[in-house]
Amino acid sequence: MFEDQNKELTPISKLGEFGLIDRLTGNFRINHPSTIKGVGDDAAVIGNEENLQQVVTTDMLLEGVHFDLSYMPLKHLGYKAVIVNLSDVYAMNATARQITVSIALSNRFPLEAVEELYAGIETAAKLYNVDVIGGDTTSSTTGLVISITAIGVAAEDKITYRAGAKENDLLVVSGDLGAAYLGLQVLEREKKVFEVNPQAQPDLEPYSYLVERQLKPEARKDIPELLSELGVVPTAMIDISDGLSSEILHLCKNSKVGCNLYEDKIPLDPQVITTCEEFNLDSTTIALSGGEDYELLFTIGQQDFPKIKGNPHLSVIGHITGESEGTNLITRANTKIPLIARGWNALQDE
């Protein structure tokens, strides 16, 4: 939560909705020729780009469900809200161009707090080169809500769906897995310590990578660019927001295929391994079920393997099989067990 004990804070009611919008969006600049009209009218206007198709995705983040303001700084939250959406655009092998931002907030948030939130949104927009072209603000009685829509473009023959994986394709993942979930566990542990002893100072240095992956994740804009440079068009792709096992099952279901995932090929950061030992957790389970990694999972034809072989950003973790063979994890002991989705489910009962 935003707090500044030495400064008188400004109630949002003092500005009104339009004054708030003007204050929050005054620094946004338009960079893409396809953005004909951004903030400031009844609707934004986006021009058609020759030979390109548009992709559109929306995500909503709710306080108490997707984030906890006791340890999530508002600037980080604004940044992360953008990243969550851009990740879905990159998972289509597309380039992000524009976003809209809608927020609902209660009167407990002063103007300065909302400016912190928008500072994070602005930072992400600049870093990922997207135009903020509109949105909405309204009041909320249940905490902070953020909804962002992202718009991107891709050539028709480059757009990658979940449904294109074929038997004998290779299963590839970017980066490493499990760190974001462990970062959340570390923060939750420190929150409990603080509740018992408010004077306690958390030592997060040994977990810096994990905490950063939770509070300030990055979308893999570089992966579609890398694949394009290598001359590789994935046959299917999805981003890892709900855990590796859930995303593999989505991909296989949509493509009507099975797969073999090899436990010893799953990429893990050393901090993940040591923290799993400390928390007495199984690192494979965390990688499979953790979620919020925002890495990209995709399949490629075997003929493209030489193009990605040895690339430090990519790991081949398995291969696609016939649908009748099912989706399986091949353990380090060479035992085949069925993959089960135990990742994040936004609609599950508490």
Question: Which of the two residues, 306 and 197, has the higher pLDDT score?
Answer: 306
What's the longest Cα–Cα distance across the chain?
65
Tokens of 46: 């986006």
Q: What is the pLDDT of residue 24?
A: 60
Angle at 214 between CA 171 and CA 58, to 5 degrees: 70
Whole-number mean pLDDT of the chain?
Answer: 90
Spatial CA neighbour of 256 closest among 233, 236, 234, 242: 236
Poorest-pLDDT segment among 34-38, 122-126, 184-188, 237-241: 34-38
Q: What is the pLDDT of residue 235?
A: 98
Crossing angle of helices 74-90 and 111-127, in 10° steps, is: 30
pLDDT band with cut points at 50, 70 and 90 for residue 34: confident
Poorest-pLDDT segment among 31-35, 108-112, 148-152: 31-35
In the predicted structure, residue 125 carries a pLDDT above the cut 90: yes
Poorest-pLDDT segment among 33-47, 108-122, 165-179, 248-262: 33-47
pLDDT band with cut points at 50, 70 and 90 for residue 346: very low
Residue 8 is classified by DSSP as: P
If you average pLDDT over residues 330-340, what whole number do you get? 95
If you average pLDDT over residues 141-146, what whole number do you get? 90
Spatial CA neighbour of 298 closest among 336, 256, 244: 244
If you average pLDDT over residues 230-236, what whole number do you get? 97
Q: What is the pLDDT of residue 21?
A: 58
Q: Are 173 and 293 in contact (CB under 8 A)?
A: no
List phi, psi (to 5°) of 155: -65, 145
How many angstroms separate the CA atoms of 258 and 248, rounded? 9
pLDDT band with cut points at 50, 70 and 90 for residue 1: very low
**Residue 256 neighbours by CB under 8 Å, 6+ apart:** 163, 323
Q: Is the dihedral of CA 282, 288, 289, 293 positive or negative?
A: positive
Tokens of 33: 């020729």
**258-277 core/surface letters (b: 16 or more CB in 10 A; e: else):** bbbbbbeebbbbebbeebbe
- pLDDT, tens only, 96-117: 999 999 999 988 888 899 999 9
pLDDT band with cut points at 50, 70 and 90 for residue 20: low
In the predicted structure, residue 170 carries a pLDDT above the cut 70: yes
Q: What is the pLDDT of residue 130?
A: 97
Three-state SS sequence of 133-163: EEEEEEECCCCCEEEEEEEEEEECCCCCCCC
- pLDDT, tens only, 57-107: 999 999 999 999 999 999 999 999 999 999 999 999 999 999 999 999 988
Q: What is the pLDDT of residue 2?
A: 47
110 pairs with which residues across the strands? Answer: 11
pLDDT band with cut points at 50, 70 and 90 for residue 344: very low
Q: Are 344 and 244 in contact (CB under 8 A)?
A: no
Alpha helices in the chain (DSSP H): 16-25, 74-90, 111-127, 179-196, 208-215, 222-230, 244-255, 270-278, 283-289, 305-308
How many angstroms separate the CA atoms of 78 and 102, rounded? 11
What domains, with CATH codes, occur in the chain? 12-155 (3.30.1330.10), 170-338 (3.90.650.10)
